[in-house]
Amino acid sequence: MRLDVVTIFPEYLEPLNVSLVGKARTRGLLDVGVHDLRDWTHDRHNTVDDTPYGGGPGMVMKTEPWGEALDEVLADGYEAGAGAPALVVPTPSGRPFTQELAVELSSRPWLVFTPARYEGIDRRVIDEYATRMPVYEVSIGDYVLAGGEAAVLVITEAVARLLPGVLGNAESHRDDSFAPGAMANLLEGPVHTKPPVWRGRGIPEVLLSGHHGKIARWRRDEALRRTTAHRPDLIERTAPEAFDKKDREMLSILGWAPDPEAGRHGRFWRRVEDVEE
Ligand code: ADE
Mean pLDDT of 190-209: 98
Higher per-residue pLDDT: 171 or 188: 188
pLDDT band, very low/low/confident/very high, at 163 (cuts 50, 70, 90): very high
Binned at pLDDT 50, 70 and 90, residue 180 comes out as confident
Q: Is the CB of 92 under 6 A from ligand 1?
A: yes
Catalytic choice (25, 38, 161, 271): 161
pLDDT in tens, 28-37: 999 999 999 9
- Binding site, residues? 140-145
For atom 7 of ligand 1, the residue with the nearest CA is 139
Residue 144 φ/ψ region, left for φ over 0, alpha for ψ in the -120 to 50 degree band, beta for the rest = beta
126 CB near ligand 1 (under 6 Å)? no
Q: Which of 94, 178, 188 is nearest to 140 (CA)?
A: 94
Cα→Cα distances 190→12, 203, 204, Å: 33, 11, 10
**Ligand 1 midpoint to CA 84 (Å):** 25
Q: What pLDDT, on a 0 to 100 scale, did the predictor assign at position 274? A: 58
140 touches 115 (CB < 8 A): no
pLDDT digits (tens, 9 = 90+) for 96-151: 999 999 999 999 999 999 999 889 999 999 999 999 999 999 999 999 999 999 99
Ligand 1 centroid distance, CA of 139 (Å)? 5
Give ∠ CA 248-238-274 in degrees, rounded to 5: 55
> Ligand 1 centre from 205 Cα, in Å?
43
Catalytic, 176? Answer yes
Say whether 96 is catalytic: no
46, 48, 69, 117 from 43: Cα distances, Å = 5, 10, 15, 19
Look up the pTM and report it: 0.92
Q: How far is the CA of 126 from the centre of ligand 1 (A)?
A: 16
Q: Is 104 a catalytic residue?
A: no
- What is the structure's pLDDT at 70? 98
* pLDDT attached to residue 204: 98
Choosing from 137, 145, 156 the residue with most ligand 1 atoms within 8 A of its CB, the one to mutate for a pocket test is 145
Per the annotation, where are the binding residues for S-adenosyl-L-methionine?
A: 140-145
Give 201's strand partners: 198
Per-residue H/E/C for the chain: CEEEEEECCHHHHHHHHCHHHHHHHHCCCCEEEEEEHHHHCCCCCCCCEECCCCCCCCCEECHHHHHHHHHHHHHHHHHHCCCCEEEEEEEEEEEECCHHHHHHHHCCCEEEECCCCCCCECHHHHHHHHCCCCEEEEECCCCCCCCCHHHHHHHHHHHHCCCCCCCCCHHHHCCCCCCCCCCCCCCCCCCCCCCCCECCECCCHHHHCCCHHHHHHHHHHHHHHHHHHHCHHHHHHCCHHHCCHHHHHHHHHCCEEECHHHHHHCCEEECHHHCCC
